[in-house]
Amino acid sequence: MHEYTKEHGHTVTLTWYEAQMAVDCGVRRNMASWQRGDQHKAGYKPKDLFDVSIKAAGAELAVAKLLGLYWDGSVDTFKSQSDIPDHDIEVRLSLTIPPHLIVRPHDPSDRRYVLVKSRWVHGEQPRYSILGWKWGYEAKDERYLTDNNNGRPPAYFLPVNHLHPMSYISAHNINRASFGPQQEV
């Protein structure tokens, strides 16, 4: 299901089967990372074991669902392919309040970065707000570069009102009719 409001952008609700796919993917990604002994390259230290990875996988699935694209839930393809395969779309789950699209200096400039906020509440069907997007080369503007005073390397933090609307992404190499408010997904 999909709805649109100015406050939340496009809200996508995952089915319980889709939620299970996100859970499985998030857990598999964490386990693969631990087996390799990987550390987060941007210094992120999660407060829990799986929550962010599961919600991030769900965010990828929600964007694919909104755009009518296939999501493969891949593991161990970090940076070798985009989050939405064959469509140069990277999905960024925001944990900041207010939400910001975060693009790092080493991120590919020729990909589209979509900002998603999780509205997944314990015991309810997962919902995500898909807030907008920018090309990597547009996001890498010095006015957005900050270290955010969090002890992590500088990155580009874009506010929601500086993003393209999701209806605009359909006009950029996705062979799908433009979608608007109230369309079921």
Burial of 98 (0-12, 13-18, 19+ CB in 10 A): exposed
Per the model's pLDDT, the better-predicted residue between 9 and 61 turns out to be: 61
- Give pLDDT, residue 81: 85
Which of the pair, 55 or 172, is modelled with greater confidence?
Answer: 55
C-alpha–C-alpha distance, residues 6 and 102, integer Å: 21
Cross-strand pairs, 112: 89, 135
Q: What is the pLDDT of residues 21-56, one digit of tens each?
A: 999 999 998 888 778 776 666 555 666 667 888 999
- Per-residue model confidence as pLDDT tens digits over 127-167: 999 999 999 999 999 999 998 777 888 999 999 999 999 98
> What local confidence, expressed as pLDDT, does residue 171 receive?
45
Residue pair 136/120 in contact (Cβ under 8 Å)? The answer is no
pLDDT-derived band at 183, boundaries 50, 70, 90 = very low
d(CA 182, CA 121): 22
pLDDT digits (tens, 9 = 90+) for 73-92: 888 776 778 999 888 999 99
